[in-house]
């Protein structure tokens, strides 16, 4: 049944707002030396089947950046963006750290292997490497299914 005020179709009970889930990661990961910022449409809802993979991918990418991108107490920033465009959802986690090595392993025991596997679970793919102007970049692109 549609909402009589807005004429909007009801959202499935299994969907959830993406922003609160990602904001919790940002709060837990930020420190005086490292700032984590989230950019996400506040109304973007994800089906329950996407919440755990997206939060896990984001957590793995943030953890890698916190551990490797800012050596010797270097200050830095991490930006997380979740957007929807042309029927696809795009998650990016970018930092302004030292960048990533060219020969990243993709074993399942490695966080990047987990990111690749979760991207495939969502029906998409992950790109992991250095950002064009420095720092690290993890991008996951997958089709919007709901």
pTM of the model: 0.82
Give residue-wise pLDDT tens across range 104-125.
665 555 788 899 999 999 999 9
CA distances from 25 to 4, 29, 62, 134 (A): 36, 6, 9, 23
CA-closest candidate to residue 103, choices 78, 132, 130, 131:
130
Give residue-wise pLDDT tens across range 25-70.
888 888 888 899 999 887 788 888 899 999 999 999 999 999 889 9
The conformation of residue 35, written as its DSSP 8-state character, comes to E
Question: All domains of the chain, ordered by start, with CATH?
Answer: 15-143 (3.30.565.10)
Helix H, strand E, coil C: the string for 56-84 is HHHHHHHHHHHHHHCHHHCCEEEEEEEEE
């Amino acid at each position: 049944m549609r909402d009589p005020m807005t004429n909007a179709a009801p959202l499935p009970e299994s969907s959830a707002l993406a922003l609160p889930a990602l904001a919790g990661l940002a709060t837990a990961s930020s420190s005086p030396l490292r700032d984590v910022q989230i950019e996400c449409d506040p109304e973007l809802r994800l089906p329950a089947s996407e919440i755990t993979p997206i939060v896990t991918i984001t957590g793995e990418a943030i953890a890698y950046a916190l551990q490797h991108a800012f050596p010797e107490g270097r200050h830095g920033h991490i930006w997380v963006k979740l957007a929807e465009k042309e029927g696809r959802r795009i998650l990016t986690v970018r930092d302004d750290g030292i960048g990533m090595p060219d020969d990243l392993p993709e074993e399942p025991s490695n966080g990047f292997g987990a990111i690749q596997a979760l991207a495939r679970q969502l029906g998409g793919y992950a790109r992991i490497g250095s950002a064009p102007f420095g720092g690290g970049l993890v991008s996951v692109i997958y089709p919007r299914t709901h």
